[in-house]
Amino acid sequence: MEKQILHVDVNNAFLSWTAVEMLKNGSEIDIREIPAIIGGDETKRSGIVLAKSMKAKECGIKTAETIYQAKIKCPNIKIFSSDFKIYRKYSDQLYKLLLEYTDKIERFSIDECFLDMTNYLMKDTLLNKAIEIKERVKQELGFTVNVGVANNKLLAKMASDFTKPDRVHTLYKEEISEKMWNLNISELFMLGKKTVPKLYNMQIKTIGDLAKSDVKILEKKFGKHGVQMWEYANGIDKSDVKYMPEKPRGVGNSITLPQNINDIEKLEEILLALAEQVSYRLRRYDLLAKTVNVQLRTKDFEDTSHQGKLIMATSSTKEIYSKGKELLEQLYKKGMSIRLIGLRVDNLVEKEQLQLSFFDNKDHEKQEKLDKVIDNLKQKYGYNSITRAGKMNLPKGTINLKKLE
């Protein structure tokens, strides 16, 4: 199965996160809209520019130059100190949001992540998910990201570096020659600055030049690194997303609908799909949930939610959906037009802590076996290989099931 990879990169992270924090604390100025920089100690001539606004960039200010030089170029520049506590706070918020899409996340740096979406698309396209993530980050967290869409980490990373800010770019194998080969060789991922002049001396000036070079000559001159450079230039990267599995405190998923829905039966269909994804992730972690929460957002952007306790901790799709459906019926009022629906489970416990009563045991074992069979099929043939009855019976045009994770 071909990998489905996203690379999420925060636009101008340090300055953007400082701006968001200042606005939350009552600032009337968005420093992203004025000549501003994030820097070290400005009392020292050696303090450097860590990040700059677009207005500062227009003044000729460059990242990594001294603050002294920046002030010469723009005497009225506003300077703000770096604060890694703030950066970590917003980095963690981004990570938490991304966890709603996949458990396989590699935090490549404080402001960028790789996501392996291979088994988490649920009949959606990778591009749709990228757009959805970009919009949610902007609306819910207050800053913007670029998202690269590809079938491996290298191409996803390269794609996210295309035109900025607040953009989604694809870079599939068939797009390499058009979108990547005309770029200067210095823009190839993981290519050291010392290597560029050596390639220039070999008349290799673009990524396309490198891709069409004799790999044996490159290996002779640069060793294994020469082979890797040639592979990268041709879009070849077999590395996996390196993620650290950790037990989540809660598991949830939501979907912004492509068109508003005012039919509770159709919402129940979507809720079943969400329950299946949430419970599948619970079982992968050997966790059980005690609480279910359902969220609705109307076409007027009014949010409402209900939470309910389960009779006993469970990872059963049937039981989580049943409680979710009950909560949905309490929440939904006739005539409501819904643009988003979400399902979340909390108060998680380890599976070993489960204690079944005599009366519940047989039914639980039967449901557990069914879930296990379905999970095994999904892991073997892909998440979308099997779906539960009822989920796929929506009338054509009612909702695009590609919008479900």
Residue 89 banded pLDDT, cuts 50, 70, 90? very high
The pLDDT assigned to 281 comes to 86
- The mean pLDDT value for 177-184 works out to 97
Is the domain of 222 the same as that of 366? no
Per-residue pLDDT of 306-328, as tens digits, reads: 999 998 899 999 999 999 999 99
Give whole-number Cα distances, 392 to 85, 127, 303, 343, 402, in Å. Answer: 45, 21, 27, 18, 11
- For residue 159, pLDDT over 70 is answered with yes
Average pLDDT over residues 86-97: 95
CATH of the domain at 75: 3.40.1170.60
Q: Are residues 383 and 286 both part of a single domain?
A: yes
For residue 332, what pLDDT is reported?
A: 94
- How many other C-beta atoms lie within 10 A of the C-beta of residue 84? 10
Same domain, 360 and 225: no
Identify whether 165 is preceded by a cis peptide bond (ω within 30 of 0). Answer: yes
The whole-number pLDDT of residue 395 equals: 37
The enclosing H or E element of 256 equals: strand 251-261
**Residue 98 scores a pLDDT above 90:** yes
Q: Is residue 132 part of a domain?
A: no
Q: How far does Cα 161 stand from its chain's mean position?
A: 16
CA dihedral 391, 301, 133, 398 (to 10 degrees): 30
Q: How confident is the model at residue 39 (pLDDT cuts 50, 70, 90)?
A: confident
CB-based contact 71:59 (threshold 8 Å): no
Residue 388 confidence class, pLDDT cut points 50, 70, 90: low
- The pLDDT mean for the chain works out to 87
Does one domain contain both 227 and 279?
no
Q: What is the predicted pLDDT for the residue at 391?
A: 45
282 and 363 fall within a common domain: yes
pLDDT number for residue 1: 77
Query: What six digits make up the tokens of 168?
Result: 């989604």
> Are residues 271 and 351 both part of a single domain?
yes
* 226 lies in the same domain as 282: no
Taking only the tens place, the pLDDT of each residue in 262-291 is 999 999 999 998 998 899 888 888 899 999
What the block records as the tokens of 25 is: 């604390």
DSSP state of 100: T
Write the CB contacts of 199 (distance below 8 Å, at least 6 apart in sequence). 185, 205, 210
Same domain for 371 and 260: yes
User: Could you give the CA distance from residue 41 to residue 250 in angstroms, rounded to a whole number?
Assistant: 40
pLDDT of 378 over the 60 cut? no
- Chain segment 295-306, per-residue pLDDT in tens: 999 998 888 999
Decide if 119 is inside a domain: no
Q: Assess if residue 246 is contained within a domain.
A: no
- CATH assignment of the domain containing 194: 1.10.150.20
Instruction: Judge whether residue 346 has pLDDT over 80.
Output: yes
- The H or E element containing residue 170 is strand 168-170
Positions annotated as catalytic residues are 112
% of the chain surpassing 90 pLDDT: 67
Q: Could you tell me if 273 and 399 lie in one domain? A: yes
The backbone torsions φ and ψ at residue 58, rounded to the nearest 5 degrees and listed phi first, read -65, -20
Residue 401 is predicted with a pLDDT of: 34
- Residue where one domain finishes, among candidates 65, 84, 103: 84
Share of the chain above pLDDT 70, in %: 84
Gap between the Cα atoms of 190 and 184, Å rounded: 14
The winner for highest mean pLDDT among 16-20, 376-380, 387-391, 394-398 is 16-20
Residue 359 has pLDDT above 60, yes or no: no
CA distances from 366 to 275, 318, 373 (A): 18, 11, 11
The answer to whether the beta carbons of residues 401 and 394 sit under 8 Å apart is: yes
Structure tokens, 117: 């979406």
- Does residue 200 belong to any structural domain of this protein? yes
Confidence of residue 402 (pLDDT cuts 50, 70, 90): very low
Whether residue 72 is contained in a domain is answered as yes
For β-strands 112-116 and 105-109, DSSP reports them as antiparallel
Q: Which amino acid, one-letter code, is at 75? A: P
**How far apart, in whole angstroms, are the C-alpha atoms of residue 234 and residue 368?**
46
Do 229 and 291 belong to one domain? no
Rounded Cα gap, residues 154 and 229, in angstroms: 11
Averaged pLDDT for residues 175-200: 95
Q: Does 171 map to a domain?
A: no
CA 197/CA 158 separation, integer angstroms = 21
Query: Does residue 204 contact residue 186 with C-beta atoms inside 8 Å?
Result: no
Q: How many domains does the chain have?
A: 3
Res 400: pLDDT:
36
- CATH number of the domain where residue 295 is located: 3.30.1490.100
Domain that holds residue 228: 181-233
- Give the residue among 177, 160, 62 at the shortest CA–CA distance from 114: 160
**Residue 174 CB neighbour total at 10 angstroms:** 9
Considering the domain boundaries, does residue 20 fall inside one? yes
Specify if 122 maps to a domain. Answer: no
Q: Which pLDDT value is given to residue 256?
A: 80
- pLDDT bin (cut points 50, 70, 90) of residue 180 is very high
What per-residue confidence (pLDDT) applies to 252?
86
Element (H, E) at 112: strand 112-116
44, 68, 84 — which closes off a domain? 84
CA distance 377 to 126: 22
Cβ neighbours around 374 below 10 Å, total: 19
Position 379 pLDDT exceeds 60:
no
- Contact, 275 vs 257, CB < 8 A? no
pLDDT tens, residue by residue, 99-120: 888 889 999 999 999 999 998 8
List for the chain the helix, strand, coil content (%; round to 5).
40, 20, 35
Same domain, 214 and 263: no
Same domain, 296 and 377: yes
